[in-house]
């Protein structure tokens, strides 16, 4: 099978979406399928990327780290003729997502869409940031979902949210799997030596894109309180992003910068070793659809303390393989971290076995095989005769319908978000952050 992946972001950016695209693509290829990834040009991308097509884009759009592709569909004509995909898989509801919809309609190919992100949590990257923009993002993503042939969601929580938002397209739950064998063996001791972390330190760790949507201000405050409470504690943060300065400044202000270890992005065995250097993994994001880093940490045997939110509640079971907290409360979070760090070696050995058993249902090979089954099912469900595929009139009509659907979705999303903003009768639910009380 030939699979065309279309995504707004890809390596060298590192996050759950990028890792998901890479993991599935590599596993598909290992199973004998062909994959072509189409993504915007990005500063720092490798000069040679087999199986990846970079299209012209506006770099660092509006001061962000993101690239926005230029709508030049003619650039892909040659690749479409040479590759002839059986499936178009979109990984975003706009920009490259619109591109994917046009291509799927123009060439009569089924379109799959993975709902990776709670897009309304990312408005800090937009020029305008308010509740109206959040409503627009919610409506736009739901509307786009209904223009595709199949929606993939990483968790049951996200499926339930999308059903409430009016998504009618068939949905399947397929979490992004992890190569569990990679995380069986690591050298935490050597990692600590390389990063000037004392061998007897109690290390609270975190990994991921360092950005506001990850609720890092709350997480950093919790780490600082833990370090103040226990002089043996150190913070290890793996990743890169716009919140890096905020993190450094917070630890400097608290006089704890010497116990903060910011490593930047780590890959391959270096990332595995980082997990093995941690005693507990802290996660406070409320914007996830699936916390891939949680599965990676737990595959390495690291207990997790997280807030009860989509992505975390599917993996972490309170008082079983870690702590899952119902409220975003600083004291409760710090107490949970301290509780994990107080385990005896015997308790830790037992809990590590439980933790590793938890993630056995997330192998990447099983996830990829399930995705391939979905692809086959959609192709059977939406088969188009060869005569129609070769009919210029038929394909032109579907291309025009794609344009109409795309612009109608944008207009409808704007109108609905404005209407709901003007006539909303109830106050939105507020998250109380007790770190500021």
Confidence class of residue 349 from pLDDT cuts 50, 70 and 90?
Answer: very high
- Of the ranges 33-47, 93-107, 326-340, the best mean pLDDT one: 326-340
Q: Do residues 301 and 356 lie in contact, with contact meaning Cβ atoms separated by under 8 Å? A: yes
8-22, 107-121, 180-194: range with highest mean pLDDT: 180-194
- Mean pLDDT for all residues in the chain: 90
Classify residue 50 by its DSSP letter: T
- pLDDT (tens digit per residue) in 306-320: 999 998 999 999 999
Whether 2 contacts 83, CB under 8 Å: yes
pLDDT at 238: 98
- 172's tokens: 């399947």
Q: What is the mean pLDDT of residues 359-368?
A: 96
What pLDDT sits at residue 302?
A: 97
72 compared with 77, residue with greater pLDDT:
77
Is the pLDDT higher at 328 or at 70? 328
CB 74 within 8 A of CB 81: no
Q: What is the pLDDT of residue 97?
A: 95
Task: Identify the three-state secondary structure at position 244.
Answer: helix
Nearest to 382 by CA among 77, 38, 81, 88: 88
DSSP code per residue over 168-195: -S-EEE-PPPB-GGGGS---HHHHHHHT
Q: Residue 280 in contact with residue 205, Cβ under 8 Å? A: yes
- Of 41 and 395, the structure prediction assigns the larger pLDDT to 41
pLDDT at 140: 95
Single out the residue of 218, 17, 207, 236 nearest to residue 122, CA to CA: 17
pLDDT tens, residue by residue, 201-221: 999 999 999 999 999 999 999
Q: Tell me: the pLDDT tens digits for 397-422? A: 888 999 999 999 999 999 988 776 55
Tell me the two tokens of residue 288.
Answer: 């996830």
pLDDT at 122: 66
pLDDT of the residue at 437: 42
Rg (CA), the chain: 23
Q: Specify whether the CB–CB gap between 296 and 208 falls below 8 A.
A: no
Separation between Cα atoms, residue 172 and residue 150, nearest integer Å: 8
Q: Exposure of 116 by Cβ count < 10 A (0-12 exposed, 13-18 middle, 19+ buried)?
A: buried
Structure confidence by residue, pLDDT tens digits, 79-113 = 888 899 999 999 999 999 999 999 999 888 999 99
Select from 265, 261, 351 the least CA-distant residue to 302.
351
Residue percentage of the chain with pLDDT more than 90: 73
Least confident of 50-54, 130-134, 173-177, 192-196: 130-134
pLDDT confidence of 239, banded at 50, 70, 90?
very high
Question: What's the whole-number mean pLDDT along residues 296-307?
Answer: 97
pLDDT: which is higher, 61 or 279: 279
Domains (ranges, CATH) in the chain? 2-177+364-423 (3.40.50.2000), 180-361 (3.40.50.2000)
- In 10 A of CB 394, how many CB atoms? 15
Locate all alpha helices (DSSP H) within 359-391, ordered by sequence. Answer: 364-381, 386-389
What span, in angstroms and rounded, lies between the C-alpha atoms of 36 and 56?
A: 17
Q: What distance lies between CA 282 and its chain's CA centroid?
A: 17
Structure confidence by residue, pLDDT tens digits, 421-433: 554 433 333 444 5
Confidence at residue 127, expressed as pLDDT on a 0 to 100 scale: 53
């Amino acid at each position: 099978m030939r699979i065309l992946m279309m995504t707004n972001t890809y390596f060298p950016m590192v996050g759950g979406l990028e890792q998901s695209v890479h993991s599935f693509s590599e596993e598909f290829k290992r199973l004998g399928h062909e994959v072509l990834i189409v993504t915007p040009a990005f500063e720092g991308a490798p000069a040679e990327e087999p199986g990846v097509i970079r299209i012209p884009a506006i770099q660092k759009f509006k001061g962000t780290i993101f690239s926005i592709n230029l709508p030049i569909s003619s650039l892909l004509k040659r690749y479409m003729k040479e590759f002839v995909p059986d499936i178009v898989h979109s990984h975003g509801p706009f920009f490259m997502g619109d591109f994917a919809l046009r291509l799927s309609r123009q060439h009569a190919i089924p379109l799959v869409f993975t709902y990776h992100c709670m897009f309304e949590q990312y408005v800090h990257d937009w020029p305008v940031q308010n509740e109206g923009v959040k409503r627009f993002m919610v409506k736009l993503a739901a509307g786009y979902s209904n223009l595709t042939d199949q929606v993939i969601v990483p968790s049951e929580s996200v499926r339930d949210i999308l059903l409430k938002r009016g998504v009618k397209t068939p949905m399947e739950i397929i979490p992004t799997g992890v190569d569990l064998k990679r995380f069986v063996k690591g050298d935490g001791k050597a990692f600590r030596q390389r990063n000037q972390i004392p061998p007897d330190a109690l290390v609270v760790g975190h990994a991921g894109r360092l950005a506001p949507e990850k609720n890092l201000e709350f997480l950093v405050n919790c780490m600082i309180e833990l370090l103040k409470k226990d002089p043996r504690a150190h913070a290890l943060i793996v990743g890169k992003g716009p919140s890096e300065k905020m993190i450094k400044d917070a630890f400097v202000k608290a006089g704890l910068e010497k116990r903060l270890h910011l490593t930047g992005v780590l890959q391959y065995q270096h990332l595995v070793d980082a997990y093995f250097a941690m005693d507990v993994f802290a996660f406070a994001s409320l914007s996830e659809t699936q916390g891939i880093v949680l599965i990676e940490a737990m595959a390495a045997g690291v207990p997790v303390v997280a807030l009860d939110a989509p992505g975390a509640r599917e993996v972490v079971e309170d008082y079983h393989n870690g702590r899952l907290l119902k409220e975003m409360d600083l004291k409760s979070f710090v107490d949970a971290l301290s509780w994990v760090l107080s385990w005896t070696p015997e308790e830790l050995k037992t809990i590590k076995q439980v933790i590793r058993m938890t993630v056995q249902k997330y192998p990447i090979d099983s996830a990829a095989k399930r995705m391939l089954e979905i692809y086959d099912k959609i192709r059977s469900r939406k088969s188009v005769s060869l005569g129609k595929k070769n009919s210029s009139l038929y394909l032109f009509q579907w291309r025009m319908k794609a344009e109409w659907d795309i612009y109608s979705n944008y207009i409808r999303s704007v109108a609905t978000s404005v209407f709901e903003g003007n006539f909303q009768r109830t106050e939105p639910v507020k998250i109380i952050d007790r770190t500021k009380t």
